[in-house]
A and B are shown apart, each in its own frame.
Chain A
Amino acid sequence: MAIKDYEPNMVLATKKFDVVGTRPVRHDGTDKVTGRAQYGADFTATGLIYGAILRSPHAHARIKSIDTSKAKSAAGILAVVTAKDFPKLTASRDEYVQLGELNTRLGYLRDNILADDKVLYKGQPVAAVAAANAHVAHEALSLIKVEYEVLPSVLTAPEAMKGNAAILHDHLKTEELGEQTDKVSNVAQHFQHVLGDLEKGLADAEVVIEREFNTATVHQGYIEPHNATAFWNKDGKVTIWCSTQGPFEVRDASAASLGLDIASIKLVPMEIGGGFGGKFEPFGAPVAAMLSKITGKPVKIVMTRAEDLQGTGPTPGSNMKVKMGVTKNGKFTAAQAHLAFEAGAFPGSPVGAAAMTVFAVYDIPNVVVDGYDVVVNKPKSGAYRAPGATQAAFAVETVVDEIAEKLGIDPIELRLMNAAKEGTRRADGPVNPRIGCVEVMEAMRDHPHYKAPLEGKNKGRGVAVGFWINGAGESALTLRVNSDGSVTLSEGSADIGGTRTSVAMQAAEVLGVPAESISPQVVDTDSVGYTSGTGGSSVTFKAGWAAYEAANDVKAQLIERASKIWEVDAGTLEYGKGEIKSKSDPELKLTFKELAGQLNSTGGPVVGSSNLMPPAIGGAYAGCIVDVEVDPDTGKTTIERFTMVQDAGKAIHPSYVEGQLQGGSVQGIGWALNEEYYMSDEGGMMNSSLLDYRIPVSLDVPMIDTVIVEVASPTHPFGVRGVGEVNLVPPPAAIANGIYRALGVRMEVLPMKPASVMEAVWKK
């Protein structure tokens, strides 16, 4: 496709800096492109042995007995463990464990590491073995005899909410509107957000649209499977090497599940081959640790692809009903949403975030949102790039498109008429600070893509806009000034998106030195303060903020040191553009590098540090424009052109921000068109390979054009909002709207696979 009339990848920058906003080569680039980077599966150690995990073949069953005797005595088998080998949980079962964007209770966490009395999904770990090599370990799994009493399973939220549904947890009682009830059911929680008066809003409406939507379970589709190596030393100290988004969360959760002090565990984060929210759970680490305790050797466990798809934390399927009322002039008067999300085997779906984001793009005076967290016989749901928001946006944004069509108003103009602004209250409570919702919509409206004619049959252009809350959390970071003027940066945030560089750049900006002179290191959990995980698009925001604070700490210490060297009052000195100088005496001047060389002999090294918890977060909006062509005979959708517009607040490194926009778009295309857990009637995932779980391949996506909008986040020193997630929110809705305009069918299911589109055409 020729796009000749403009330059793609626009950056609508509002503020210029020296380092921030430039595009240096990433610090970890050489290791990544030469294959030297060490991922979890690359880790090796003297005496390393391998673990393998036996998984439940049933979606729901009671474990009557586990006989490990044959496996224990088999040649080459060094250890066998089951849940019984772990410390007994009593009252601590109900304690909460932090796991990044989604948290859980210790009992659930443990049951998800190795099942105790019941299995709740096919693929749930039941036992594990260790052997000198992985093949022997996997072969030995068949020697473990598990006797199951198979129970009926439930696979969707509506099914699980029925009165006669099979119950997953005998002790799970519904929390109803904040009150703990005595009702045992699969509904872990029902909550409600209310704003204004819904009935009045609906009475004021001249057009009301109500639709019901169902979406399938999908996986993050990271390429590197889950992995962990653990070594339990004779002194009781445990070291874990693994690829995780949350080194501290996995450390703490491993400690809790193994009954150890936190200080007994060191987690060494390895490079990570994609996470997207799916790498917070400590699946293999505690099992590897227990096998290591028995054998005295380091134990490595790496999941196969099938294990990863069946036994990790996909993002859930949902059942949603959305009703919106509007005046003939296009003013939204009321909105209602019923959101029932599959938590998977244990409570904790992202329905909370879905309810926060569902109508957050708009200023609607009267809103009711009901959220239901429902357990079903599938893997426990995990986070996935703006968890919950994509499903919710699919529902709302297709209803908004239908309203635009009914009223004959341009879909972007309709959105602009109702856009959320600074001061708009969300139904879940918060009042918006300065946000970039309008600016994103305006950039969409004004983009050459939106104005370009759409030629040919069976083609349609869809738009949609989404919101994501973004996160923050604790961040600890140090900057050590070396004698040659280089700076070593140590941080606790796993780097899944180029954040070593975006964090280092913020320190470099403050110090007035080149980004290349900072050497950013993601260090182990013994070497830096508690840092919350790499989720919620938080790292460039929180670690960048910590880098800003730590660099200012360095600056203050350098001014102090210069005042000592020059024997002048520190108040007479200033720091700017990498120089320390006197405000009055032009002779008193040292560059950062010159002063760095004098530090050790004038009082010792300078280490700047910051341990902070940002007081605010920077929520973000994104919208996309997509042109599709749909084959009316097969129902297959081809993405012809795709533009993602997103408010970054400030793009620290625009190339990596563009990469995030493109990556989210591609995952959105996959979720929209083909990705789904295809379940058998008995509750097994049938398509647990990347052949049949269809993430997009390169021929399925066009070059994704991007527009970075910059409406500074009001709290952050550089205006950063966080860029990793919101780009996955609008694509499925925009593609659905494009399909409608191409073929005239409103899609109410995800994925909109060819067969589903064809069925919708036949029903029309």
Chain B
Amino acid sequence: MKWIDYASASSVQEAVDLLKGGGARPLAGGTDLIVNLRIRRLDPDTVVDVKGIPELNEVSYDASKGLTLGAAVPCYKIYNNKAVAKAYPGLIDVASLIGGTQIQGRASIGGNLTNAAPSGDSIPVLIALGAIANIAGPNGTRQVAVEDFCTGPGKTVLKQGELLVSLSIPAPVKGSGAQYMRFIPRNEMDIAVAGVGVSVVLENGTFKSARISLASVAPTPLFVKAAGDALVGKPVNDASIAVAAGIARDAAKPITDMRGTIEYRKHLCEVLTRRGLNVAIERAKENK
């Protein structure tokens, strides 16, 4: 039987110091970490509890600066924050969708990102919202766009000793809307066969900008820049949406496994992009 040490960090520096020797994993909500320890997918000697670090618990929203979301903030604190809930309905889609009520009491968006599952529900919407990851490490701090954060299943840009401190999400502009939509065979307790995060900014009946990202159809969540770019300047109608949905379908690089076939998953990317864009457009129209 393997013994694993537990350490609790009270500052970012302390956490970095504990992590930099290697063989350590940060512990936030633990909803992925503990499961992975049990099945030996991860095999650290130490877990470093980061829930006591002030920066990792920060939730600060400013209508001009946007949102700073500490990496350990549990989902329920996000959807219970009225200002955040109003400004980022797309983020609330995922905070209220991951796990169930009990899991949402522990699980964090930062943890979902660093777990780096191809199916991570929060990642496509973070990408669509243009979120930036704020990282601290032995050599100081750095910022990485979320679309560049994951490098493979369970793999990220974090180097030994580095810690995700928070996420910065730009303030929503007038006429913007976002949405996350996934497909699961059941209605709860399931992993996305495919997922799509979209955000749009509308102006005078046309798309001013759009970002589209896919989950579960590649080794990492996929930012499909071309799909969003294809909408820019186009009228808000079914024909424009169909073009973007087709690009998303073609960009998907899924595998066939127990959750779905290549053909079916690519098809779902098209369906979900279309449906997600329609919801995001409705939200954008209400966001005057």
* A contact residues vs B (CB 8 Å cutoff): 133, 135-136, 139, 633-634, 636, 673-674, 678, 686-687, 691-692, 694, 696-700, 753-755, 758-759
What is the CA–CA distance of A674 and B188 in the complex, to the nearest angstrom? 13
What is the CA–CA distance of A698 and B189 in the complex, to the nearest angstrom? 10
The answer on a CB contact under 8 Å between B257 and A691 is no
A393 to chain B, nearest CB (A): 23
Can you name 26 A-B pairs with beta carbons within 8 Å? A135-B1, A136-B1, A633-B271, A634-B271, A673-B185, A674-B185, A674-B186, A686-B257, A687-B258, A691-B189, A691-B190, A692-B258, A692-B259, A694-B185, A696-B186, A697-B186, A697-B189, A699-B187, A699-B188, A754-B183, A754-B185, A754-B193, A754-B264, A755-B193, A758-B264, A759-B264
B266 to chain A, nearest CB (A): 12
The answer on a CB contact under 8 Å between A755 and B258 is no
Contacts of A633 in B (CB 8 A): 271
Contacts of A133 in B (CB 8 A): 1
Q: Which residue of A lies closest to B189 (CB)?
A: A697
The answer on a CB contact under 8 Å between B185 and A758 is no
Contacts of B186 in A (CB 8 A): 674, 694, 696-697, 699-700
Contacts of A139 in B (CB 8 A): 1-2
Q: Which of B2, B258, B267, B268 has the most CB of A within 10 A?
A: B258
Q: Which of B1, B191, B267 has the most CB of A within 10 A?
A: B1
Q: Which residue of A lies closest to B261 (CB)?
A: A755
What is the CA–CA distance of A691 and B100 in the complex, to the nearest angstrom? 13
Q: Which residue of B lies closest to A637 (CB)?
A: B185
Contacts of B257 in A (CB 8 A): 686
Interface residues of B in 233-288 (CB under 8 A from A): 257-261, 264, 267-268, 271
Q: Known contacts A686-B257, A687-B258; is A758 also within 8 Å of B267 by CB?
A: yes
- Over the window 172-186 of chain B, the binary record of Cβ atoms lying under 8 Å from chain A Cβ atoms (1 yes, 0 no) is 000000000001011
What is the CA–CA distance of A699 and B190 in the complex, to the nearest angstrom? 12
What is the CA–CA distance of A686 and B183 in the complex, to the nearest angstrom? 20
Q: Which of A674, A755, A759 has the most CB of B within 10 A?
A: A755
- Over the window 21-55 of chain B, the binary record of Cβ atoms lying under 8 Å from chain A Cβ atoms (1 yes, 0 no) is 00000000000000000000000000000000000
14 more contacts with CB within 8 A, not counting A686-B258, A691-B190, are A139-B1, A633-B271, A636-B185, A673-B185, A674-B186, A694-B185, A694-B190, A697-B188, A699-B186, A700-B187, A754-B183, A755-B193, A755-B264, A758-B267
Q: Which residue of A lies closest to B187 (CB)?
A: A699
Contacts of A678 in B (CB 8 A): 258
What is the CA–CA distance of A219 and B73 in the complex, to the nearest angstrom? 38
A670 to chain B, nearest CB (A): 9
What is the CA–CA distance of A678 and B186 in the complex, to the nearest angstrom? 16
Contacts of A686 in B (CB 8 A): 257-258
Q: Which residue of A lies closest to B256 (CB)?
A: A755
What is the CA–CA distance of A728 and B173 in the complex, to the nearest angstrom? 54
A621 to chain B, nearest CB (A): 30
Q: Which of B188, B264, B268 has the most CB of A within 10 A?
A: B264
What is the CA–CA distance of A633 and B189 in the complex, to the nearest angstrom? 22
Q: Which of A133, A136, A636 has the most CB of B within 10 A?
A: A636
The answer on a CB contact under 8 Å between A634 and B189 is no
Interface residues of B in 171-219 (CB under 8 A from A): 183, 185-191, 193
B170 to chain A, nearest CB (A): 32
B93 to chain A, nearest CB (A): 17
A673 to chain B, nearest CB (A): 7
Contacts of B271 in A (CB 8 A): 633-634
What is the CA–CA distance of A673 and B259 in the complex, to the nearest angstrom? 14
Contacts of B183 in A (CB 8 A): 634, 636, 754
B187 in complex: contacting residue of A135, A634, A687, A697, CB < 8 Å: A697
Contacts of B193 in A (CB 8 A): 754-755
What is the CA–CA distance of A699 and B189 in the complex, to the nearest angstrom? 10
A141 to chain B, nearest CB (A): 12
What is the CA–CA distance of A135 and B40 in the complex, to the nearest angstrom? 13
Contacts of B187 in A (CB 8 A): 697, 699-700
What is the CA–CA distance of A696 and B186 in the complex, to the nearest angstrom? 7
Q: Which residue of B lies closest to A693 (CB)?
A: B258
Contacts of B264 in A (CB 8 A): 754-755, 758-759
What is the CA–CA distance of A634 and B185 in the complex, to the nearest angstrom? 9
B273 to chain A, nearest CB (A): 12
Q: Which residue of A lies closest to B270 (CB)?
A: A633
B268 in complex: contacting residue of A634, A673, A697, A700, CB < 8 Å: A634
Contacts of B259 in A (CB 8 A): 692
B190 to chain A, nearest CB (A): 7
Q: Which residue of A lies closest to B2 (CB)?
A: A139
B107 to chain A, nearest CB (A): 15
What is the CA–CA distance of A673 and B186 in the complex, to the nearest angstrom? 9
A664 to chain B, nearest CB (A): 19
What is the CA–CA distance of A758 and B185 in the complex, to the nearest angstrom? 12
What is the CA–CA distance of A754 and B272 in the complex, to the nearest angstrom? 14
Contacts of A696 in B (CB 8 A): 186
